[in-house]
Every structure is written in C-alpha cells, then in structure tokens.
A and B are shown apart, each in its own frame.
Chain A
Amino acid sequence: MSNGDVILKAERLDKSYRMGATRVEVLKGLDLTVKRGEFVAIIGASGSGKSTLLHILGALDKPDKGAVSFEGRQLGRQSGRELNRFRNKMVGFVFQFYHLLDELSVLENVFLPAMASRSILGWFGCRRRAKRRAMELLVQLGLGERVKHKPYQLSGGERQRVAIARALMNEPKLLLADEPTGNLDSATGNGILDVLEKLNKAGQTIIMVTHDNRIARRAGRIITLADGKVRN
C-alpha cells in the first residue's frame, strides 16, 4: 500500500470525558488507517468509543492527544474555517436518527450542504445545478416521488435514504455512517446497506460504525474497538 492510497490516518488518539467526579477514557492511543475506496466497519460494544472515533475522524470533535490526517493534511493544524470547509466538502455524515431538519422538505434537506457553503448570490448562481444533483440522488435512492414531502411524512428507511443523499450532495471523498441501520427493521436496514455497498462499488470510501457483527460483515474490512484501542 503506497501513501497515496491512504485517505485517512489516525495516530495515537486519546479521548476522555468527565462524568461527574470521574474521568472516563474512551480512546487510548488508537491508530487507524483507511485507504481510498475502502468500506470499513468499526464494531464494538456500547460505550466503546465508536461514535466518538467517528466524530473525531469527521472533525466534529477533537482528540485530547494524537492526530488525524486527511489526504496527508493534519486536521488539528487547520483553522476553524478550513475545518468547516472540510466538513462541507470532504466528508458526509449519516446518523442513526437521520437528523433531518423538519422545517425543510426532502429536496431542501438534500441540497442543504450545497446551500450552506454559498452566499445568497452564490446560491442563485448554482441553484439549478444543485437542485438537479439533489434530484438525481433522490431518484437513485428511490425517492423521486417524495421530494416535496417533509421528513416526518416519510418512513424510517426513506428518511435514512434522504440522509444518505444529503451526505453525498457535495460529492465527499469520505462517507461516515454512525449506526445507519440502528433505528431500522432488518429488511429496511438491509436496503440501506445495499445502498452503501453500491456506493462503495462506485468508488466511495465509507467508514461505518455498528455494534452488529452481521451488519459489519457487509463491509470490506472490520475493525473491532475494545478498551479504547483497535483490536484487529
């Protein structure tokens, strides 16, 4: 494996939380490398730090120690503006509870990341292109008829597919999925995993967090978190 194939590298990550009087160490010197085009599943028991790791990898949180590099650039050395740009352009998040904005329609939720990175004038310049891209994603994910609906009018599986479309809107290099099927029944969850597999086959790098071995087996590589470190 050459260095050019590595999209993400985490080195000696430490992270702890204070819970009342005690300090809980979640990550203890964790190392992780993800290659471009990989579909990695991170599994571990509840409270093992899977979501914390995912948030650190996506620059939603900062490690106490250690460094995360994306395409060779250390996230910890980037300014707030650069990190905002990183979250907007480089990564896409899919959450267990979808986290769609109820005030926006399905279509608006999907093109929200494109709108967020532009000024009003900038948005008017690319509005049509962004809407076309959002529509294409929704059609690909089988939601072409639901664009004007509000999130609360959709089923769980549909909402998660909207969340995936939103995560893919700005064509991110890395998709981070936190228990994407955790809130869905088995059949719907399988449908979501099919979507992720399909995206991976098209070249999308994916890191998925799950506590379910059965789901993790759908990924190309499985990493187990225990005692704050990668076990295998």
Chain B
Amino acid sequence: MYKLILATRYLLKRRITYFAVLAVALCVFIVVVVMTVMAGLVGEFKQKNHDFSGDCVVGSESLVGFPYYEDYVKKLDASELVEGVSEVIRSYGLLSLQGRDRTSGVEIMGLDPARHSRATGFGDTLYHRRDDIAQAFVPSYDANLPGCILGIDLALERDPNGEYAYDSSPRRIGFSISCFPLTARGALAGAGTALANTKTFYYSDHSHSGLARVDDSIIYLPFDEAQALCGMSGQTKRINAIHVKFKPDVPLKAGCEEARRLWSIFKAEKANENQAYLLDTVTVQDWKLYGRALIAAMEKEQLIMGVMFGFVGIVTVFIVLVVFYMLISHKSKDIGVLRSIGVSGFDIIELFSGFALMVGLAGSSLGVLGGWQFLLRINSIERWLFEHFEFQVWDRTMFAIGDIPSAISPRVLAMIVLLAIAACLIGALVPSWQAARLKPAETLQVNQL
C-alpha cells in the first residue's frame, strides 16, 4: 500500500515528474496524430485503389492485349464466386481540344460503364450520370454524339481549398482522340496518313476516383469505340484487361485462385489458336498486387514513419531514464529510510516501477486526449492556417485528397499507449534497479554528512 501512496505522491508533488509526464504526453500526442493521419491516408489510398481495380485483374501489360477473351469471360460469369466482370481496353493516345492547337498525351480506358460498375467502384466516381450509369457515355446535351468521360482533373479546375468548380450539367466540349493501332505482333498497324485512328468524342461526364494518377490522365471511352480506335476490333478481337469482383463472402485469395484455375483451363483450350502466344503475357493478380507500385510506396512511407517514431520512443525512454535518475538521486534518503524499516530491494524496484507506470499512464492519457482533440479539429486548423497564413499541409491542387484523415483507430491508440507505458517502464528499470542496490547505510550516512 505504501508503494501506491508514495508513487502517487512522487507523481503529484515532485515538479520534475511533471516534465517526465509532459515528455511522454508530447511523444504520444505526436505519434497519435501522425500515425492516425498516415494510417488514414494509406487506408484511404488502398480503398481507392481497390475501388478502381475491383478485386482481381486478369490482364497483360502489353499494349497489344490478348484475344479470345469472350470465352474466358463466359467462364467467369458462370462461376459462383464471381459477382461482376468487366472487359477493358487500355492504351495511350493524343487528346486535342476541338478548336485549339494544344495536344496532350492521355491514357485511354475503354469500358462498358454498367458492367464496369458491377466489377469496380467506377459508378460512384461519376458526377452527372451516377444514377444512370448505363447512359454515362451519352452527352446530356445531344444523345446522338459519342460521349467520353474525363478524369476530373482533366475536366475541372480545382481551387487551393481542394474544391472543384462543378457545372450543373456537362458543357458541350469535343475532344479529338488519336490512337496508334498495333498488330497482334506489336507492330504499328497503319502507315502514312493511316498511322493513327482519330475520332471526336464529347464530354458527357467526369470521374473522380480520388487517385491523382488516374484522375489527371485517363479518359474513358465506350468499349466498342475504344477497341476500334486501338485496332483491337478486327476478326480476332483483343482486350487488355478483365476486372473481376467476387461475391461479398468470397475471400480474396480463394477468388483469385478460382480466376487462375479458370484461366489455366481457358488457356489450355486455346493452345492451338493462331494468337495463343498472346495469352502467355497475361497474369491474374489481386488488386493489391495490381497496384503494388503505388501501394508499396505508401506502405514503405508508413513503415519509415513507424521507424522514425520508434526513435521518438527511444527518446522517451531516455527522458524517463534521466528524470528517474535525477529523482532517485534526490530520493536516496527515502530509499535508505525504507530499507531501514524492512523494505526489500525488490519492493524498491516495484515502488519506482509503479511510479513509472503512473508517469506512463498520466503522460499517455494526456497525449491521447490532446491528440484526439487535435485530430477532431485538424481540418479546421488547416483551413484556418490557410486562410490566415496561406499555409497548407497538402496542396489540394496537387494531392487528390479531400480532408485530412482524422479517424482514430482504437487498436492503434491502444498500441501507442502500451508502447508509451513500456517505454516508461524500460526507462525506469535501470535507475530502479540501481536504487534497489543502494546500501542503506551509505545513503543514510551520506545524508548525515
């Protein structure tokens, strides 16, 4: 009982312990805020990638694509594990705004909007046609014109607050799109003036996926139009990818294994076909593997952050260690007195470990409370900083994020608190152990001199 009383009094009455509590609180505060924001950004980024890709992508990185896909799609559609399948054309082209000289490179994605929305989160990224996805490529101002959907950053301007200048309905804008069709062998299919296929499409909607790489470079075209434009609609039609969504209760791994199994059967069936060699370039990847180039970079950043904050934890250990050394050197008389009334060395370790536990609990509680309050207001603080000092943590004209993520994960929070307490206990361990080894006669004698 005396350990509890003394540890509590040391915590409340010694000014130096306030510094230890403050140090722990600051470290916890920083870690809570940064880890929450970072985990939120990574989580959001992964979710957006998942929404963009669907659960699984069967595709080739080659621009030539692969043939006979209709038979494989039939197999997927017939599978009990599959909920949605979408065939996709992916290529590159040149985009010119009608009536202007400016031409820029663009990534083309040909798809059927209704089928693609069943396989991915595409439908939710639309603005004007969100409630009528099948009509996404039909411009509202003239249903007879061929429509196209632009990545939002190709279509709209964004102000520094991250707000887009939305129109109530799409403006009539024509885009001339040129593609360079390839043969099944990968050579340019045309020559001279027929080198490129060019067609004009009209702005019917925009897509906001939340992925900067997608929103500022992709133009979506109707599947058949894109296939023709890319020279993939000949006698043997080709596509570049098939996006697949599995039923909700199907584990990702099991779904991908089924897609692979069906692909093996399909490939064996087509082994004697003319362009069967193109099937060798096709891989079956889950959405994480498909987007690994970007996701891995984000996860690495998160890992580096974790390591950096590991160092913050080590600093906490040292701060606590120094404070405890100072405190114990002040308290050597108390230790001598306690030993003189029969308290054991182990009890002394327990006393100071209990004290460290209290410092850890008090510091991490304050840090968590402060971090939580800060995160609740992080977006309004950022807005205030921008309004008054034009300082913005993430420039919304460059980064495809809306608000800064601020949803605290209880699991992360518990882990941070436990680590903070562990850091305090580790920091207090050596001084406590040394305190327990103090010879009472020496401490009492020294204090008498």
Contacts and interface: CB of A to CB of B under 8 A. Distances in A.
Interface of A: 51-52, 55, 58, 60-61, 80-81, 84-89, 93, 95-97, 99-104, 108, 112-113, 115-120, 123-124, 166, 178-179
Contacts of A178: 448
B330 to A, nearest CB: 10
A96 B2 contact: no
Q: For the side of the interface on B, what is the size category?
A: 20 to 34
B342 A99 contact: no
B15 to A, nearest CB: 13
B188 to A, nearest CB: 85
A89 B9 contact: no
A118 B343 CA distance: 10
Contact of B444 (A95, A103, A116): A95
A186 B181 CA distance: 112
Contact of A99 (B10, B439, B444): B444
Interface stretch (B89-97, B150-158, B332-340): B332-340
B344 interface: yes
Given A88-B342, A112-B341, A120-B4, A97 B441 contact: no
A117 B342 CA distance: 7
B9 A116 contact: no
Contacts of B347: 116
Given A87-B339, A97-B448, A113-B341, A103 B9 contact: yes
Contacts of B10: 103
B334 A84 contact: no
Contacts of B6: 101, 103-104
Contacts of B336: 99
Given A61-B439, A120-B4, 9 more contacts: A88-B342, A93-B340, A96-B448, A100-B337, A103-B13, A104-B5, A115-B5, A116-B338, A123-B1
Q: What does DSSP make chain B's interface, helix, strand, loop or mixed?
A: helix
Contacts of B445: 51, 55
Interface string B287-310: 000000000000000000000000
B447 A97 contact: yes
18 contacts: A51-B445, A51-B448, A61-B439, A61-B440, A80-B345, A87-B341, A93-B341, A95-B444, A95-B448, A97-B447, A97-B448, A99-B340, A103-B9, A104-B6, A112-B341, A115-B1, A115-B2, A119-B1
Contacts of A118: 1
Contact of B342 (A51, A113, A123): A113
A60 B444 contact: yes
A123 to B, nearest CB: 4
Contacts of A61: 439-441
A99 B2 contact: no
A170 to B, nearest CB: 8
A84 B340 contact: no
A116 B2 contact: yes
B1 A60 contact: no
B344 A99 contact: no
Contacts of B338: 116
A112 B339 CA distance: 12
Contact of A84 (B1, B4, B13, B344): B344
A116 B441 contact: no
Contacts of A101: 6, 334, 337
Contacts of A89: 342
Interface in B1-40: 1-2, 4-6, 9-10, 13
A3 to B, nearest CB: 27
A189 B10 CA distance: 32
A171 to B, nearest CB: 13
A100 B13 CA distance: 16
Nearest to B6: A103
Given A99-B336, A99-B337, A85 B9 contact: no
Contacts of A104: 5-6, 9
Interface in B423-449: 439-441, 444-445, 447-448
Contacts of A93: 340-341
Contact of B447 (A86, A99, A100, A108): A99
B448 A87 contact: no
Contacts of B4: 120
Nearest to B440: A60
Interface in B98-123: none
Q: Which of A100, A101, A124 has the most CB of B within 10 A?
A: A101
A61 B447 CA distance: 16
Contacts of A112: 2, 341
Contacts of A60: 339-340, 440-441, 444
Nearest to A98: B337
B5 A80 contact: no
Given A61-B439, A95-B448, A104-B9, A87 B340 contact: yes
A12 B445 CA distance: 23
Ranked nearest first, the 9 interchain pairs of A and B with the lowest CB-CB distance are A88-B342, A103-B9, A61-B441, A55-B441, A87-B342, A123-B1, A113-B341, A115-B2, A84-B342
A178 B13 CA distance: 29
B441 A85 contact: no
Contacts of A115: 1-2, 5
A115 B3 CA distance: 9
Nearest to A118: B1
A61 B336 CA distance: 11
Interface in B323-373: 333-334, 336-345, 347
Contacts of B2: 112, 115-116
